[in-house]
Amino acid sequence: LKHFAPIARGWSMPEQRLRRRRASPSDSYDRRRPPSKRRKRKRRSSSDGSQSRTQSSRRVVEDRKSRKFLFVPGSAAPVIAAPPAPPVQQQQPVSTRGASGIDFAEVRQLKQQLEEQKQQPEKEKEKEKLLQQVLQAREHERNETQEQSEQREGEYFRGAAGHVCGPGGRFIIEEEVGRGLFSSVYRCKDREAPIKYAVKFTRSNPLHRRATEREVRLMGQLITHAGEADPEGSRCLLGLVFFEGFEHEGHLAVVFELMKCDLRTALKKYGNGQGLPLLPQVRNIGKQTFLALRALRAVGVIHCDVKPDNLLLSLDRETVKLSDFGSAMGAAETVKTPYLQPRHYRAPEVILGQPYGTQVDVWGAAATLYELATNIVLFPGTSNNDMIHRMLTVIGPMQRSFATYGDSWAQHFSSDGLNFLNAGGDYAVRTENPGARVLT
């Protein structure tokens, strides 16, 4: 029974042995003796500075402010942590308030903002006025007199071969490669690198100079934003080589990538009087033109001057790039004027005085592609009224809601919008005019 009692209680032999081993021999010996005769235990002396067995080998670090104890293994000597450093107080800004409690710095800032807001409409009016002047100048110079033509010729830059220009005499003029209404273009050689550029010299005219400065600023923005928004399309835009122009003999000059020629010259040289081949030339030109317009649409810019003269062919005859941003504008700063776009490439919404957007460039590109493929101008009108007449002849009647909408529609259609008016506007042209059709 003595041996089987632990088993009867549910204990196993190994567990019973472990319980006996937990007690020291002295403890088991003292339990058999009465309390009066039990031996007293001797305590070890701690005079040598060592810790007793009952003391923990961990030192206690007390934070006097928080009264928290941190048990850190280490030496016997307790270490008291230093109190945390007080937070660094930030220096208070000097108050700009006066004795009355008014913050004069804030007042100055608000005053400056109000002045900028007042100047913003004036700046927008100046931009709009400049753009209108540029567009009117383009339209009038196409119909200028002999005297006006001679005056214009005297404003162009003339440089002989070997003439040095640019900052520090960097560029050497080789020959003139083109001339437009506002400027002349020369092929120049770079003295610092074996590269040739196209340098455009603006006419010595204050209006044309401001227009060129505006074009340079706009093209600088296009290089930055269009490259991020549409990398593929931005490669079809003619970019600036340097972000700033330079002054030379009273003319503002701008440096561009050198191209072979414009498409009007290419049409005369390679078209043989019948237009360029549809495949692959016209197809590739159309693709690259619409890629350029896609990049402009991505950044909200309207070119307003898409025509064969402003599409340039590269030196390898493989790439076409859109150039001449003198008439370009943002989609949010459109100007209503009947002189927008070249007349033969002018969209109907511009003629009727309707709101317009980047779609007018698509119209100009389509008219350009037709001309390149056939060597025939699609709408060779002599005025806006004649342009509407030719559109009706080729495309057919317009919807009444479209024909009677805009600031200038009454100059071209009758009050009921059913009849087209001739250039004089005094009578309605009916059966004798193939362009006069009843609108639906």
Cβ–Cβ < 8 Å for 334, 340: no
Which among 325, 267, 335 has a CA at the least distance from the CA of 296?
Answer: 325
336 annotated ligand binder: no
Q: Please tell me which residue in 262, 305, 324, 361 is annotated as part of the active site.
A: 305
The one-letter amino acid code at 259 reads M
Active site residue 305: yes
Percent of the chain with pLDDT over 70: 65
Mean pLDDT value of segment 318-336? 89
> Over the stretch 343-391, which tens digit does the pLDDT of each residue have?
999 999 999 999 999 999 999 999 999 999 999 999 999 899 999 999 9
The model's confidence at residue 33, banded by pLDDT at 50, 70 and 90, is low
Q: What is the pLDDT of residue 147?
A: 76
C-alpha 395/C-alpha 83 separation (Å) is 90
Q: Are 301 and 329 in contact (CB under 8 A)?
A: yes
Q: What is the DSSP string of 390-409?
A: HHHHHH-PPPHHHHT-SSSG
Q: Looking at 96-100, 116-120, 265-269, which range is the least confident one?
A: 96-100
pTM for this prediction: 0.68
pLDDT in tens, 38-67: 555 555 544 454 444 444 444 444 444 444
pLDDT of residue 430: 43
Could you tell me which residues come within 8 angstroms of residue 440 by beta carbon, excluding any fewer than 6 positions away? 397, 399, 400
Residue 438's Cβ-side half-sphere holds a number of Cα atoms within 13 Å equal to 1
**Looking at this protein, which amino acid is placed at residue 384?**
N
Q: Is the pLDDT of residue 437 over 50?
A: no
Per-residue pLDDT, averaged over 313-336, amounts to 89
pLDDT band at 12 (very low <50, low <70, confident <90, very high): low
3-state helix, strand, coil in the chain (%, to 5): 40, 15, 45
* Strand partners for 257: 197
- Give how far Cα 375 sits from Cα of 39, 268, 270, 390, 423, Å: 129, 9, 11, 17, 27
> What are the E-state strand segments in 298-419?
301-302, 311-313, 320-322, 329-330
**At a CB cut-off of 8 Å and minimum separation 6, what does 294 contact?**
230, 233
Distances (CA, A) of 430 to 46, 262, 273, 318, 433: 128, 41, 35, 48, 6
Average pLDDT over residues 87-94: 58
The reported pLDDT for the residue numbered 77 is 46
The pLDDT value given to residue 191:
92
Of 93-102, 123-132, 357-366, give the lowest mean pLDDT range. 93-102
Instruction: List pLDDT tens digits, range 391-403.
Output: 999 998 888 899 9
pLDDT at 60: 44
Gap between the Cα atoms of 234 and 321, Å rounded: 9
pLDDT tens, position by position, 237-270:
998 888 788 999 999 999 999 999 999 999 999 9
- Cα-Cα-Cα-Cα torsion 28, 34, 35, 38, nearest 10 degrees, comes to -60
pLDDT at 2: 53
**All domains of the chain in start order, with CATH:** 155-257 (3.30.200.20), 261-380 (1.10.510.10)
Give the Cα separation of 306 and 17 in Å (integer): 104
Cβ contacts of residue 223 below 8 Å, gap of 6+? 234, 239, 240, 243
190 in Cβ contact with 334 (< 8 Å): no
Closest by CA position to 226, among listed 239, 244, 212: 239
